Amino acid sequence: MNPVLLKVGQFALTAVVGYVSGSIPSGVLAGKLFGNVDPRQHGSGKTGATNILRTLGPRAAIAVALMDVLKGVVPVLLARFLLFRDVGIFTPPELWGETVAGYAALLGHNYSMFIGFRGGRGVATGGGATLAMQPLTVLFGAVGLILPVWLTKYVSLGSIVAAATCAVTDAVLVALRIDYLPHLVFIAGGAAVVIYAHRDNIVRLVNGTERKLGQKA
């Protein structure tokens, strides 16, 4: 087969696998399992762990968070070790394949094909993809998440700060040649997607009407 066509096919398959993985509606599935509740009909209407916490409690939220993280981790690892197995580790085609896998999973989570192109805000799934690419970036991002939530009780603020922190951290790592440009392309762009998905939260934060952690929907 033509090498160019083979590579195009690899990227296309990576995108499909990533999007389908990201589209798995873990929040909706948890709603059925933990109380036959559709999270899209409650609270923010999102299917991520924060809205699940408010509507179904901590056990369901933890389950959803773990599933959403895996939705980002698995496509990136598949791209690295299976879909691009014909090239060596850390070669450019493989790295760009990971970027495609990460974006596809993130967009699948936010716009799931299984639930009418609705979903969550991409924090856990984007974080999972980032974890598979560069764990050190996630370590700093976790600090960016935990501190604002601890100080203010606003999960949305922590998520926004965490996304921005990941982008800045990975830019520094790339500058220091600890990480690679394709990873930064995903992490910075993914951070923008996550922050954009929080635009309604940003309005409520500015207006002082955002719900704090522990408040029921």
Q: Give the tens place of pLDDT for each residue, 158-176.
A: 999 999 999 999 999 999 9
Q: For position 76, what pLDDT does the model report?
A: 96
Q: Mean per-residue pLDDT for 41-55?
A: 89
> Which residue type does 142 have?
A
Q: What angle do CA 128, 199, 59 make, to 5 degrees?
A: 45
36 pLDDT band, cuts 50/70/90, is confident
Q: For position 85, what pLDDT does the model report?
A: 60
| Tens digits of residue pLDDT in 87-145 | 444 556 678 999 999 999 999 999 999 999 999 999 999 999 999 999 999 999 999 99
Asked if pLDDT for residue 61 goes beyond 60, the answer is: yes
- Minimum mean pLDDT range among 18-22, 37-41, 154-158: 37-41
Paired tokens of 78? 């598949």
Taken in order 7, 90, 73, 152, the sign of the CA dihedral is: negative
Paired tokens of 41? 């009909």
Question: Which position has the token pair 């980032």?
Answer: 130
pTM tops 0.75 = yes
- Minimum mean pLDDT range among 2-16, 77-91, 126-140: 77-91
